[in-house]
Structure 1
């Protein structure tokens, strides 16, 4: 495996680009390939077995592009299939899961909110994580419809605002002081979320922590890119790529491809 090989990332759509941005910022010399499985979004509505099979398909695609590591930039995919992926493939994997620990440890009201997909909140991995914080009240809310609106490019729509008010206001009323975003799509909603929740409620997502873990694992396996060449990034999307281009802010190296 060459150090100059790309890092592969995949998500059920465009949301994992929030993770890609953090990794690219921390590791600007690393080549990356991002896979947006938008035609199968959202994963949160699918069965565990369906999620596992979609993950295998995505990993096979990225390995065919000679990726040296896979970042599962999707909470639902991680919490439902990371164990199976690590068992099947001989390559380092980085997963992403809701950042409960920092929220629970820092909460002054002992009440935190978690906005995530049904697939994440119902997963065995997530529920094992929750068991570690029995001293904290954890308010779980499924973000029904949020991923679909993001994938349709409707982040700042009236429909989005109405859903966010429906989901967030009860958690605010229950005295949460930390909101954990448990889906890689949701960081793109932070500007809208901040219009709804009080200023003292802190928002936590997993992007920065995932980027740091990616660097640590690359160092552990001696896989950091030592090339001085400008890093190359390619984005693949298996549905209309216009929303992906808009969220990235550029269109070069973004390709529609059926997979």
Structure 2
């Protein structure tokens, strides 16, 4: 992969594992500087430790609770002060809050603080730096924003709201800042494996899920990273204000055979 001459400064939230880790590694392989954060302390984040060892001069890690606005503000401020610029913000951190529509108020609040408000506030704090660099914001939503399953509220509701956040950031902050959403479906991460493991037969649950994808498999985290790399490039300069679904064709199916 060809590296660009001037490394960009890229913020990746939720970078300690799964999709966030893959996104961070993709930009690092491309030659960029990545400042990652996640809730976990570094001592509890072995993947982040490995990235620090592999890219000691271009990867930096912070423990940040993105539900706490003061921590977000400090994280973004320190990143800009250290490097003098921010070129790309990949707002990825989030978590499944599958409690159902009758969830407790505490579950509702926790979900919206993490899966909606944090994305808005990260963008708000990074805006001055991104305006200077004419940068890019990438917001990770989910295919649950378009169609969902029983028991997945309030998660799916916040993910749907992110579609509107992407639109508003685009029309109010453009043309200096370009914003795009990404909506992955089933990606082969520890989080999705935990969902399979919650079934009586995890192997069977995985096989049934794979059969529901026209491409015949579920996604790989590095594929999300490659999409982020493209969307952050000048080649994607006319893509803005929209959310791209990458779900292996899952959402194209009107009805599953075993549901008929």
Q: TM-score range by the shorter chain?
A: 0.3 to 0.5
Instruction: Work out which structure has the larger RCO, using CA pairs closer than 8 Å and 6 or more positions apart in sequence.
Output: 1
TM-score by length of 2: 0.41
TM-score by length of 1: 0.41
